[in-house]
Amino acid sequence: MSNFEQQVNLKRLELDRTVNKIKDIKAEVEAVESKVREGKIIFSGVVAEDIIYVGQEGIIYHQFEELDFSICLPVEKESEDQEVELTPWIEYLDFQLADEGKHLEQKIMLKVHTLLMKESQLKVKPGAADTYRVAVIVNEVEKEQIIEDKFSFRSEMNRLKQVEEATAEVKNLESKLVSGQAIIQGKLRQQFFFCDEQDISRQEERESTFDVSVDIPDVNSDLQLEVEPLIDSLDWQVIGPETISTRIVLKLQLRIIDFREMGLALNPTGPTMVLDEAVLSNQKQTIEVNTFELESFASNIRNIDVELTDLELGMISDYIIVEGQLEYDIYYLANLQTEPNVECYQQEAVPFSTLIKTCGIETGMEVVIKEATEVEEIELLNNKTLKQETLIDLEVSVFKREQVNVTVDETGRLITGQVVIDEGIEEFIIDIST
């Protein structure tokens, strides 16, 4: 990207009271938004300020302001499906009082690191360099699904004479992997532009749902599924003054991804990818002991299933905070008043939290956690009280985002990720004095 300087002119600030002196101005960039369009990046945000000043009576006051700005940055290497990442910061801020302390004039220099990327597939060569988390493509499948529908336009005013055009789009796409199978669900939104019996052009739209399953050997819920839908064709036929039938050929491109940590062979002249470098990892085992009061008199515990859910991660100095909930499904035989040895079910939930030591973690790093739970011991203290121990295995990995020049090799591993197309540092001035 070419370095250039632009200026944004804003109206000077009116202060809440007459000011003797500006003590300090604290400012930061917030609410950053961006999009790539027609050879430029449209970049907008807010400069949030805390203006600290001395009033005429010697009292220190705070005035909070939000300065909206918008600017266009040039894109020299434009292509489809680009993503942009902007990191703005305030390089310097200059200010002076005007109109005998009633207004504040400022000049703020903003610098923006601009990273233009595109999702791409590359065959990369493994190596002995630093370890990175990469998205390895383990399988790709294309599924063609034919969807046929009939729609009725029941209003007398909308009786069909001729359909001029019909369009369709996929909405609310959801997908998941189960053992040996991919499940894809979504909605089809169809629009019809037609002429009615009064020769008036009209438009109607309808939504329908679809559900597709695809058999894929050796997949499970631990892998990630990406689905790209494509409306390959849309045919329609008017079969009466109120009814239209449609036939849609929907193509689904399925990509099965396994996130793995692997070393890569680096090449200073190779493509630049944005990857997560493995910085550190740690494991922790803990045993949770809980006691539950059963709803019925138990003669025997058949089984207990436990799962750690609603995991949330936080960070303090040299530690990762892990919080969640242990959910128990308890199956037991109970002696009821009418019958003995009736199988009963009870659900319990217990809050869970622990600390995992991770020296060297910094703000902005990503934390990934893997967990496993196992019921270790079950004991009926009496026919209404259950004591159990759960073993919890936690493994945390910490990653730092880096730009890496990889080695392309036709015999290498096929991965998908963000490839850097262009980057640069731009600067512009916000002049608050008009």
Q: Which of 39-48, 175-184, 197-206 has the highest mean pLDDT?
A: 175-184
**Token pair of 59, please?**
């009292």
Q: List the domain boundaries for the chain.
A: 5-120+423-432, 136-258, 277-400
**Is 287 within 8 Å of 391 (Cβ atoms)?**
yes
Position 202: which residue type?
R
Predicted confidence at residue 144, as pLDDT, reads 94
Task: Give the length of the chain.
Answer: 434
Summarised one tens digit per residue, pLDDT across range 343-399 is 999 999 999 999 998 887 877 788 888 899 998 889 999 989 999 999 999 999 889
How far is the C-alpha of 270 from the C-alpha of 412, rounded, in Å? 14
Over the Cα atoms of the chain, what is R_g?
31
Residues 6 or more apart whose CB falls under 8 angstroms from that of 89 comprise 29, 110, 111
Query: Rounded to an integer, what is the distance from CA 54 to the centroid of its chain?
Result: 44
Per-residue pLDDT for 154 more than 70?
no
Mean pLDDT for the chain overall: 88
Summarised one tens digit per residue, pLDDT across range 245-267 is 899 999 999 999 999 989 999 99
Q: What is the dihedral of CA 32, 37, 40, 43, to 10 degrees?
A: -10
